[in-house]
Amino acid sequence: METRYLHWRQTYYYRYTPFAMKILIWNIMHGGGRRVPAIVEYIRSGRPDLLVLNEFRGTPPSRELASRIEELGLSHQLSTTSENQPVKNTLLLASRWPLKRIHWRRPPEPEERRLLAHVRAPTPVTIAAVHVLNRVSGKKYPFLDAIRDLALRWRGGGAIVAGDFNTGRIGEDETVKCFNRREDDFMTTMSKAGWADAYRSVHGQKRAYTWRAPGGGGSFRLDHAFINRRAQGRLLDARIDWPPGNPRPPSDHAALWITLKD
């Protein structure tokens, strides 16, 4: 077993990790805002090795969040923020190991919603962090097509595509009718291309949801992690977790945790 010492607010924490990579995928809602302390506490308590944040921004709360995450040992960071448009929803990828940004051939647009990087962990992995737009944008289906194209063309090693897809299976990932045939077909295509839905691989058809519409408008599984054949043998666990909040939870999305054998 390995002992790791993490520096956080002048205090040293230690933990024993059985050679596993813990990945947290989480939409933090509008850059975090006043919820940043609660978000940091949740991340600290879960101690991920790799972190994908959707709706990260270039605003002061998000910058504070990135700094606090660095203090937790996730010092290698890549983001898609823009100084000219700090309030845009973007992505943050943070890791205990070095990250190398990779060129995405035929990438989806807009560029701030996708990030492809190689994680130089003891057992390396490539991760595509994504945040798929809603239908009203007119860009949702080209975005899904670009992800599908990456999956079909991928010839590298172990890889994961993870984030908020705003997409799910008809009847399986919704409590009220929401998803259409094209979105359902995307989920099927990823499976046929050899990219396993991590949550379904562990839990089968068990119902779980990652977002609840305001006003009781239904619950949906929007956040996913797809793992290619080269990495599927490393999958140890996948779970959906709703962080506690009193009186307000840290986000309107649940956290998705993936554990890989390292």
Query: Is 125 a domain residue?
Result: yes
Query: Is 230 a domain residue?
Result: yes
Residue 239: Cβ-neighbour burial (10 angstroms; 0-12, 13-18, 19+): middle
Query: Is 54 a domain residue?
Result: yes
Residue type, 71: E
- pLDDT one-digit tens code per residue, 51-100: 999 999 999 999 999 999 999 999 999 999 999 999 999 999 999 999 99
Portion of the chain with pLDDT greater than 70, in percent:
93
pLDDT at residue number 2: 34
Residue 36 has pLDDT above 80, yes or no: yes
pLDDT at residue number 18: 53
If we measure between CA atoms, which residue out of 173, 186, 185 comes closest to residue 146? 186
pLDDT at residue number 41: 97
Query: Could you give the number of structural domains in the chain?
Result: 1
pLDDT band at 248 (very low <50, low <70, confident <90, very high): confident
CA distance 93 to 239: 20
Query: Is 10 a domain residue?
Result: no
Please give the sequence-ordered ranges of beta strands (E in DSSP) within 151-222, or none if there are none: 159-164, 196-197, 211-212, 219-220
Domain that holds residue 210: 21-261
Query: Is 68 a domain residue?
Result: yes
Query: Is 228 a domain residue?
Result: yes
Query: Is 12 a domain residue?
Result: no
Distances (CA, A) of 10 to 75, 127, 250: 16, 32, 25
Query: Is 85 a domain residue?
Result: yes
Tell me the CATH number at 52. 3.60.10.10
- pLDDT one-digit tens code per residue, 153-207: 999 999 999 999 999 999 999 999 999 999 999 999 999 999 999 999 999 999 9
